[in-house]
Chains A and B, each alone.
Chain A
Amino acid sequence: MTTTSLTKSRGAGRAGDKVFSGAALAAGCLILAVLFGVALFLVVQAIPALVASPDKIQGGEGFFAYIWPIVIGTVIAAIIALVIATPVAIGVALFISHFAPRGLASGLGYVIDLLAAIPSVVYGAWGAAFLAKEISPAYDWLANNMGWLPIFQGPASATGKTILTAGIVLAVMVLPIITSLSREIFLQTPKLHEEAALALGATRWEMIKMAVLPFGRPGIVSAVMLGLGRALGETMAVALVLSSGALTASLIQSGNQTIAAEIALNFPEASGLKVSTLIAAGLVLFVITLGVNMIARWIISRHKEFSGAN
């Protein structure tokens, strides 16, 4: 068919479509490239530390001997944070979604979100200057009365700058993350299920046990995993609060160290192989948090298919 009234088109617009969609596509690809780049550059810069002879690495026993105590320390701090934060966060989420008066709920949610707005360095400063001091009598008490447990073995740190304090500060920091995600999930509970439970004569708590929690369980799990990712990677709270040292079983003595804090404390003055060692440590942290986050996202995406929401 030859040119008709329909094939005469305003050419410029058509090119605009191509340029614009190309730009959008490029931006999306750039993000993939950046993530790939993060991994690539970390690996490239970390290789010297991985192949160097063991006696050149800090501690003199090679990279592995250097990294594993701080990996354990990172995990300990994150676990303390989650053990404290998870029950409180779920409680807060339930409070906002099902207990607080309707009119207040969003305002209260905003108050909890403020916790997430406070910069981590401020939490660190607060933990070091206020919490550590206030909590050290409690550590003395723990050391005297529960000292038979290895994790509470005395003598307790006089300054209170221990891994437990750091864990508590981390708990405060991950609390809003777990809360906001759980709250979203709880609010999505099908109204029909809730009403069905209430119509059977269930109390509010029984309704929550029957309808809300089973529906929200995958969401809670992934929220906790995301909180874990944050707790593992958080730097400042630990760097400022913990007076670090060798791996120690007791949570109320000074000692232990996390990867992120190790990097922050040493990187600014590092040079040569030490830089590589720290970047390699960062790579280890990246891999760990990547794994945790991918599992969390996988749970969420699986959950989406089941819930049939949207």
Chain B
Amino acid sequence: MSKRIDVKDLNVYYGKFLAVEDVNINIEAKSVTAFIGPSGCGKSTFLRTLNRMHEVIPGARVEGEVLLDGDNLYGPGVDPVTVRSQIGMVFQRPNPFPTMSIRDNVLAGVKLNNQKMSKGEADALVERSLQGANLWNEVKDRLAKPGSGLSGGQQQRLCIARAIAVEPQVILMDEPCSALDPISTLAIEDLINDLKDQYTVVIVTHNMQQAARVSDRTAFFNIAGTGKPGKLIEVGDTHTIFSNPTQKATEDYVSGRFG
């Protein structure tokens, strides 16, 4: 149920502007990889290229290869829709569909694709996904209520349940806790720990403690100045990056000297 991602010589452009330059990284299956770095360094942009979500922005394009267990996401004939059903994403701000109930939100990925499913299967999937997102006990009695009625942290876990309901190989998380209070954040971090048993998780975070707490490996991105492209400076085991980085910039950043 999980695959590895290998990125080779990836450049990301917005129109003519080179946003992220020359990234090479291997992301292991069934592990949590954290991307850290100062604002605007391109870590979120890079994350979005891992399931071709950057294509939503007009003018965005990439050069290079992203291999999902050896299959290039940008190969000829590859449909971005198929890519996204294998590599799910959770966003900065919780965004449940306001017109749908909690149950329908979980089933959204299945239902919106018009796949037929019996009620029993659907019920099982809803329960399994909500269990997987540690939300089942809190919402099992009000599955028919609108998802937007939940608290921020619950909404975010609902979004995670929605993402795992389509049974992806990889889950990308773009600062999933930045809009949440500390208690909700803790719940999400616990959940990330559980998720890596089954999924490959990639998380972008501004919070270095969070990266240290949840991730197995950490990648540090940096930018030389405004108008310059973002770069991957260093990647390695989280422990090594935080205690004994090889690059001076990484050491400055993780020790709080800038950023």
Contact B113 A6 (CB under 8 A): no
The residues of B that contact A14 with a CB separation of less than 8 Å are: 79, 81
Please tell me which stretch of B67-75, B145-153, B179-187 contacts chain A, meaning at least 4 of its Cβ atoms lie within 8 angstroms of it.
B67-75
B109-129: CB near A (< 8 Å → 1, else 0) gives 000010000000000000000
Q: Shortest CB–CB separation between residue A8 and chain B, in angstroms? A: 7
Report the separation of the CA atoms of residues A136 and B14 in the bound assembly, to the nearest whole angstrom: 68
Among candidates A4, A5, A7, A10, residue contacting B113 with C-beta atoms closer than 8 Å: A10
Contact B75 A8 (CB under 8 A): no
Contact A9 B82 (CB under 8 A): yes
Q: Shortest CB–CB separation between residue B76 and chain A, in angstroms? A: 7
A64-88: CB near B (< 8 Å → 1, else 0) gives 0000000000000000000000000
Contact A5 B81 (CB under 8 A): no
B12-27: CB near A (< 8 Å → 1, else 0) gives 0000000000000000
Which residue on chain B has the smallest CB distance to residue A11?
B79
Q: Shortest CB–CB separation between residue B142 and chain A, in angstroms? A: 32
Q: Which residues in chain B, 68-96, are within 8 Å of chain A measured between CB atoms?
A: 68-73, 75-79, 81-83, 86
Report the separation of the CA atoms of residues A5 and B71 in the bound assembly, to the nearest whole angstrom: 7
Tell me the dominant secondary structure on chain B's binding face: loop
Report the separation of the CA atoms of residues A10 and B83 in the bound assembly, to the nearest whole angstrom: 12
Report the separation of the CA atoms of residues A102 and B78 in the bound assembly, to the nearest whole angstrom: 55
Q: Shortest CB–CB separation between residue B135 and chain A, in angstroms? A: 29
Among candidates A1, A8, A9, residue contacting B72 with C-beta atoms closer than 8 Å: A1
Q: Shortest CB–CB separation between residue B74 and chain A, in angstroms? A: 10
Among candidates A1, A9, A13, residue contacting B75 with C-beta atoms closer than 8 Å: A1
Which residue on chain B has the smallest CB distance to residue A16?
B114
Q: Shortest CB–CB separation between residue B113 and chain A, in angstroms? A: 7
The residues of A that contact B78 with a CB separation of less than 8 Å are: 4, 6-7
Q: Shortest CB–CB separation between residue B166 and chain A, in angstroms? A: 13
Q: Which residues in chain B, 188-209, are within 8 Å of chain A measured between CB atoms?
A: none
Q: Shortest CB–CB separation between residue B149 and chain A, in angstroms? A: 27
The residues of A that contact B83 with a CB separation of less than 8 Å are: 6
Among candidates B69, B77, B86, residue contacting A7 with C-beta atoms closer than 8 Å: B77
The residues of A that contact B82 with a CB separation of less than 8 Å are: 6-10
Report the separation of the CA atoms of residues A1 and B77 in the bound assembly, to the nearest whole angstrom: 10
Report the separation of the CA atoms of residues A6 and B77 in the bound assembly, to the nearest whole angstrom: 9
Contact A7 B81 (CB under 8 A): no
Q: Shortest CB–CB separation between residue B182 and chain A, in angstroms? A: 33
Contact B81 A6 (CB under 8 A): no
Which residue on chain B has the smallest CB distance to residue A1?
B75
Report the separation of the CA atoms of residues A267 and B73 in the bound assembly, to the nearest whole angstrom: 65
Q: Shortest CB–CB separation between residue B201 and chain A, in angstroms? A: 20
Which residue on chain B has the smallest CB distance to residue A9?
B79
Which residue on chain B has the smallest CB distance to residue A5?
B71
Q: Shortest CB–CB separation between residue B53 and chain A, in angstroms? A: 15
Report the separation of the CA atoms of residues A14 and B77 in the bound assembly, to the nearest whole angstrom: 12
Contact A9 B81 (CB under 8 A): yes
Which residue on chain A has the smallest CB distance to residue B83?
A6
Report the separation of the CA atoms of residues A176 and B65 in the bound assembly, to the nearest whole angstrom: 58
Report the separation of the CA atoms of residues A4 and B3 in the bound assembly, to the nearest whole angstrom: 14
Report the separation of the CA atoms of residues A13 and B81 in the bound assembly, to the nearest whole angstrom: 10
Contact A6 B86 (CB under 8 A): yes
Report the separation of the CA atoms of residues A5 and B68 in the bound assembly, to the nearest whole angstrom: 9
The residues of B that contact A7 with a CB separation of less than 8 Å are: 75, 77-79, 82
The residues of B that contact A9 with a CB separation of less than 8 Å are: 79, 81-82
The residues of A that contact B113 with a CB separation of less than 8 Å are: 10, 13
The residues of A that contact B72 with a CB separation of less than 8 Å are: 1, 4, 6
The residues of A that contact B79 with a CB separation of less than 8 Å are: 6-7, 9, 14
Which residue on chain B has the smallest CB distance to residue A3?
B77
Report the separation of the CA atoms of residues A4 and B83 in the bound assembly, to the nearest whole angstrom: 11
Report the separation of the CA atoms of residues A13 and B112 in the bound assembly, to the nearest whole angstrom: 11
- Chain B residues at the A interface, C-beta cutoff of 8 Å: 68-73, 75-79, 81-83, 86, 113
Further pairs besides A6-B68, A13-B81: 5, Cβ < 8 Å: A4-B72, A4-B78, A6-B73, A7-B77, A10-B81
Question: Can you pick out 22 interface pairs between chain A and chain B where the beta carbons lie within 8 Å of each other?
Answer: A1-B76, A4-B70, A4-B72, A4-B75, A4-B78, A5-B86, A6-B68, A6-B71, A6-B72, A6-B73, A6-B75, A6-B78, A6-B82, A6-B86, A7-B75, A7-B82, A8-B82, A9-B79, A10-B81, A10-B82, A13-B81, A14-B81
